[in-house]
A and B are shown apart, each in its own frame.
Chain A
């Protein structure tokens, strides 16, 4: 029985009652109830520490660079200042890609669990907004903007400039949420999937055209986000009429976008998700029976990954978006070497960190089949590795278009980092999958394989590990001898293999395995 306050209930005395009296307050109250129902989104020790850690790091990111930089208009601070408009725009672009890939936005309560409750589209929308920052990509970009702005403007303009950044983060997040719901609504129209794909191709073609015509720099200079930078540094200590107008405009846009998003979410919710429905009701051409046990296991596991619309879409977005950035920025190999790690981390977060949930309630039946558990583990890890290799490989192919011919050491380093980061992502994922399983229905693009706070912890760990690894290989790429990155890769792979074997030991243990299977099948 639900203990949560819903929009259909008579309001209770206290906080909920006051909220209910506000326009849309019942939806806000419902979001609060849903958050409470999910245990405040905190599961586990690491997730509980997340809030304080994020606050401390954010304060450090906001304050410290201002006092270590040379000051407004000086040296490298001026270079950073010139890059900020592109950074603001990139934040909006990547936030939009994330919201679109997740089918409009993350869900506060899984679809199956939400069915008995009167959760309105407006509540759903507000929940997606609350969850949007609980995403490592959002957090890292926000830190990048806050830190970059702090470094560029120095202590004198810090408060004014950072208030513009915060207002921009709010406005951009709310606006991209509206766009994401509208695209989701469009995707659910007849032929909507094709229209959305065509829009994606138009975007790629536009980027290509800018590159071919050599007008990328002009396009970036013409971005309207340039006003955000001017607003933060215009007057004494940054406060000016422009600052007031900019911050006020951004806050008004935020409020309007929050309201418009509720409407757009309603439009999307009234339409059936055609692509997902077709995937669940269409017939599959039968293939001949597999010849080996591992072949049979791999076939079913691959079907679980590649037949899921959200996973296919997520892997494509993960491969293409960093690839586009590499093409747009003409990233050299020493920079592009970071990209496979980010893609592999993102891919693991689609399903790998809770890999056994792919079986859903079929896990109990699969566990009753006569097959060695080690073989089952190997097949699942291999299918995860395949998906990550494919996505990160796609990014590398795109990056190669502008990165130029690599030296032998660069080529060795890129290939080595590609394999190493995938091995890291797989070993970490399989470890977490066995240690902390969750019952999740991944049919919805809006679902995540673990609760949102846990996802932030996982994504932070993966991003940190793979990015640092990428930096190590960026150094080895400068070595005169290509064997240096290969030998380095051997060390990293050995450690990943040890981790993977430990995770396998956990899975092979019948008591631990029973815990995993009964949890994901619950």
Chain B
């Protein structure tokens, strides 16, 4: 995963202004920053949802502008908001993903993930009735379902209970173990430190620091992080 000079504009608004990012196989990177720093927009560009205004973005060796469909085959994306079709069930989400990603014999894997995220009993309920935490867990599950080579998790811990956090940590660890690159955006600094080896801090759409995630840990890490945000 390689991002160079990424700029994203929505009309007069510059959402991302010069982000550089590199993450190799097996690497996990935390994307940190205040609200509106450009984290989610960067994630959306990497997921092929939002095209970049300028800059170079390559995911799994593929250019997101030149070959967006191939990029989408390579990534698994958990969006920051919702991420679920309201009147479809989790199983129907999985069926659609499996079909479009050409997955074979996917059902045992789907059931195992549903159980891991404690959604087995809800597999055939429409997601409109889900709590926020349940929706988040299902979004993470859908992102990890096909063992993508690039896993993009935007606010995966938001409103999620400890069981869900643990399952998400396992998903991240599994992805790294099989050589996938992981990019994780969150406001929960300690969880970011726990899940990732490297941290990238964004401010006002621009990148302000790249450092070891461990340097963000504890009270000293909090002080460092706060200093980068102001």
Contacts and interface: CB of A to CB of B under 8 A. Distances in A.
Interface in A150-206: none
B82 A362 contact: yes
Interface stretch (A29-37, A337-345, A510-518): A510-518
Contacts of A521: 79, 81-82
A289 B100 CA distance: 11
Nearest to B121: A283
A300 interface: yes
A293 B69 contact: no
A27 to B, nearest CB: 30
Contact of B91 (A286, A293, A360, A443): A286
Interface string B42-72: 0010011111000000000000000011101
Interface in A483-519: 510-511, 514-515, 517-518
Contacts of B97: 369
Q: How large is the interface on B (under 10, 10 to 19, 20 to 34, 35 or more residues)?
A: 35 or more
Contact of B99 (A293, A361, A372, A522): A293
Nearest to B89: A284
A114 interface: no
Given A360-B82, A522-B81, A308 B69 contact: no
A359 B72 contact: no
Given A283-B125, A284-B125, A372-B69, A361 B101 contact: no
A262 interface: no
Nearest to A307: B87
Interface residues of A, number: 46
A279 B126 contact: yes
A110 to B, nearest CB: 14
Contact of A443 (B85, B86, B95, B99): B86
Given A281-B125, A286-B91, A370-B100, A364 B69 contact: no
A359 B101 contact: no
Contacts of A360: 82, 84-86
Nearest to A279: B126
B218 interface: no
Chain B binding surface, main DSSP class:
mixed
Nearest to B94: A289
B126 A280 contact: yes
Most chain A beta-carbon neighbours within 10 Å: one of B82, B87, B126: B87
B51 A303 contact: no
Contacts of A372: 69
Contacts of B87: 279, 303-304, 307-308, 358
B78 to A, nearest CB: 8
A296 B100 contact: yes
A371 B128 contact: no
Contacts of B12: none
A369 B88 contact: no
B100 A365 contact: no
B142 interface: yes
A514 B51 contact: yes
B92 interface: yes
B7 to A, nearest CB: 14
Contacts of A299: 92, 95-96
B185 interface: no
Contacts of B82: 360-362, 364, 521
A18 interface: no
A517 B49 contact: yes
B4 interface: no
A303 B92 contact: yes
Contacts of A20: none
A311 B190 CA distance: 45
Interface in A282-335: 282-286, 289-290, 292-293, 295-297, 299-300, 303-304, 307-308
Nearest to B92: A300
The CB with the most chain B CB atoms within 10 A, among A281, A300, A364, A515, is that of A364
A367 interface: yes
A366 interface: yes
B98 interface: yes
B139 interface: yes
Contact of B129 (A280, A297, A359): A280
B77 A371 contact: no
A368 B81 contact: no
B20 interface: no
Interface in B128-143: 128-129, 139, 142
B85 A304 contact: yes
Q: Which 4 A-B pairs have the closest CB atoms?
A: A361-B82, A280-B129, A362-B85, A364-B79
9 contacts: A290-B95, A295-B99, A300-B92, A300-B96, A362-B83, A366-B96, A369-B72, A369-B97, A521-B79
